[in-house]
A and B are shown apart, each in its own frame.
Chain A
Amino acid sequence: MIKAKNLNKIFYTPEPLHALSDVSLDVAAGEVVVVIGPSGSGKSTFLRCLNRLEYADEGEVWIEGRNILDPACDINKVRAEVGMVFQSFNLFPHMSVLENLTMAQMTVRGRNRSDSESKAMGLLKKVGISDKHGVYPDQLSGGQQQRVAIARALAMDPKVMLFDEPTSALDPEMVGEVLDVMKTLAREGMTMVVVTHEMGFAREVADRVVFMDMGKIIEEGTPEHFFTSPRHERARNFLNQIL
């Protein structure tokens, strides 16, 4: 489903910062991969390379057999299949909740309004806020906004969902409602790559945990393995600090 090979990315800030060095990861269909690591470890950059919001300097990213770093690749087609959820929600503030969900369906998928709306209403029901379809994003709580953002990504019928610290900007009491939606998705067999600090979620839902530090993947394995007996010193230190 996703195949990243030897990704390298250097930010010039202006000092060169090696954000990714030789990162490789395969994600199978239906798999849930949770990426964790200290801040600045390159995990968000890696995630953003997977739908080319960040253009990797070197390496290959294959999404469903298409190399998205190939300039000839129609990135918009690929992105329509790869949903993304951001830390800061990024809902469109000038559109109602329903319009947030229907706009891309109509523009990119070419669906008509009534199909888009029934799809949107179904998803809003699924994330538990079907009564809010007419309101604008700034009238919603953070947790509700993030659930709308998840529904907005799902409305495109993506094959993969990328989550970039989806609960980091939320008040603690709203984290649960967003994680519940993500757990449901995982149970339904969605392929997911999740960058998060929610260790409970990683332990419960992940098929695989990837630990990154200094732009490298340091440790990779099942949750049991990672949380009980990490091989690497730095992963152990990290776990000691947060658990």
Chain B
Amino acid sequence: MLLVTVGFLWAASNSVEYVWRWNRIPQYFWVQKHVDVRAEQQGTLVETLTKDGARFVVLQEDDGTRVQQKLEPGMSLTPAQGDYVYLGDVLGTYRVSEPGVLLQGLWVTLEVSLISIVFGITFGVLTGLARISENPALKWGAITYIELIRGSPLLVQIFLWYFVAGTLVNNLLMQAGLGQVPPMWFGVLALSVFTGAYVAEIVRAGIQSVHRGQMEAARSLGLNYSQAMRKVILPQAFRRIMPPLAGQFISLVKDSSLLGVIAIRELTKATREVVSSSLQPFELWILCAVLYLLLTFTLSLFVSYLENKAVR
């Protein structure tokens, strides 16, 4: 199947004369280039010296005045001592080696997803507990939250968080003379509040799947409700809800691709930027999908590892 798909893709792209240039892709992952440092003054190269941990080259001008120019660490010096250096001559080169746009985007996606998973679990467990509570305020609060969140598109919720809540919060902060909350946090809120609603229903189902006798046994020993929940019910419930939770978190990682719309440069937005500058949509979008697959697959593996560990 996979081979047929790849073969078809290759044939089709040939017939529309698409030029595959995979060799140009790594640079968006990891930027590695040589940068020339050029002389900003001219004069005879007299010496190099080290001051406060930084290296300087000393040039002596014709009238005897000496000027210094800072060198990058690990930089080689092209002219020898005593050479005359003209303005703009290459003094030396150094290597820049830093994460490219795609890797930065991948990192943002990972960061946003992990933080949202943590918040999502927290919201979900609390809401799930409230959902089965006998207190009507908690119960109906939880039901309202779940229904509101499940009833509207995530994209709309992201806009609401950023353009409504975000604008209000940041304007109020500005009036109070405080700093601004970066868009990432509104994205995290949107994702974790959204996930929390779904996790709540999973948690509720998990708790209710634990036999009633477990709660009775725990209570009959003198444990109060929250002790019985923490020590007896939730550990058993979590074991059972691990697979649906994993599904929910995989959805979350993929849904984080929507955050590009509020200026968070996660993997999808990063890919879109690179595509528009490099004009290599085929390679980049395929790569983008593979990177998401990598993230979600790792998450699946981690969860099934937890599941096996907690098989009791």
* In the complex, A94 has a CB within 8 A of chain B: yes
CB neighbours (8 Å) of B236 from chain A are 92-94
Tell me the bound Cα distance from A77 to B232 in angstroms. Answer: 19
Tell me the bound Cα distance from A94 to B311 in angstroms. Answer: 9
CB neighbours (8 Å) of B221 from chain A are 79-80, 83, 104, 108, 152-153, 156
Tell me the bound Cα distance from A51 to B222 in angstroms. Answer: 10
Partner of A53, one of B211, B216, B224: B216
Inter-subunit contact A86/B213 (CB<8 Å): yes
* In the complex, A127 has a CB within 8 A of chain B: no
CB neighbours (8 Å) of A108 from chain B are 221-223, 227
CB neighbours (8 Å) of A152 from chain B are 221
* In the complex, A82 has a CB within 8 A of chain B: yes
* In the complex, A88 has a CB within 8 A of chain B: yes
The distance from the CB of B214 to the nearest CB of chain A, in whole angstroms, is 6
Given A90-B213, A92-B214, residue A53 in contact with residue B219 (CB < 8 A) = yes
* In the complex, B97 has a CB within 8 A of chain A: no
Partner of B312, one of A84, A136, A149: A136
* In the complex, A228 has a CB within 8 A of chain B: no
Inter-subunit contact B220/A79 (CB<8 Å): yes
CB neighbours (8 Å) of A84 from chain B are 217, 220
Inter-subunit contact A76/B224 (CB<8 Å): yes
* In the complex, A181 has a CB within 8 A of chain B: no
Which positions 165-221 of chain B face chain A at CB distance < 8 Å?
211, 213-214, 216-221
Tell me the bound Cα distance from A21 to B236 in angstroms. Answer: 38
* In the complex, A175 has a CB within 8 A of chain B: no
The distance from the CB of B118 to the nearest CB of chain A, in whole angstroms, is 23
Inter-subunit contact B231/A107 (CB<8 Å): yes
Residue of A nearest to B236 (CB): A94
Which positions 69-122 of chain A face chain B at CB distance < 8 Å?
76-77, 79-80, 82-84, 86, 88, 90-94, 103-104, 107-108
CB neighbours (8 Å) of B312 from chain A are 93-94, 136
* In the complex, B235 has a CB within 8 A of chain A: yes
Inter-subunit contact B214/A82 (CB<8 Å): no
CB neighbours (8 Å) of A156 from chain B are 221-222
Tell me the bound Cα distance from A227 to B217 in angstroms. Answer: 33
Inter-subunit contact A77/B222 (CB<8 Å): yes
Tell me the bound Cα distance from A85 to B219 in angstroms. Answer: 12
Interface residues on chain B, number (Cβ under 8 Å): 19
- The tally of CB-CB contacts under 8 A between chains A and B is 60
Tell me the bound Cα distance from A103 to B214 in angstroms. Answer: 14
Inter-subunit contact B235/A104 (CB<8 Å): no
CB neighbours (8 Å) of B218 from chain A are 92, 104
Residue of A nearest to B232 (CB): A92
CB neighbours (8 Å) of B272 from chain A are none
Given A76-B224, A77-B222, A156-B222, residue A90 in contact with residue B231 (CB < 8 A) = no
CB neighbours (8 Å) of A103 from chain B are 231
The distance from the CB of B108 to the nearest CB of chain A, in whole angstroms, is 37
* In the complex, B254 has a CB within 8 A of chain A: no
* In the complex, B55 has a CB within 8 A of chain A: no
Tell me the bound Cα distance from A153 to B222 in angstroms. Answer: 10
Inter-subunit contact B223/A76 (CB<8 Å): yes
The distance from the CB of B229 to the nearest CB of chain A, in whole angstroms, is 12
Partner of B217, one of A86, A94, A136: A86
Beyond known contacts A51-B220, A86-B217, A93-B236: 12 more, CB 8 A cutoff: A76-B224, A79-B220, A80-B222, A83-B220, A84-B220, A86-B213, A91-B217, A94-B235, A94-B236, A104-B223, A107-B227, A152-B221
Which residues does A use to contact B, with CB under 8 Å?
A: 51, 53, 76-77, 79-80, 82-84, 86, 88, 90-94, 103-104, 107-108, 136, 149, 152-153, 156
A-B contact pairs, 19 of them (CB 8 A): A76-B224, A79-B219, A79-B220, A80-B222, A83-B221, A86-B216, A86-B217, A90-B216, A92-B214, A92-B217, A92-B236, A93-B236, A94-B239, A94-B312, A104-B223, A107-B231, A108-B227, A136-B312, A156-B221
Which A-B residue pairs are the 9 nearest by beta carbons?
A: A80-B222, A90-B217, A104-B221, A84-B220, A90-B213, A108-B222, A79-B222, A76-B222, A76-B224
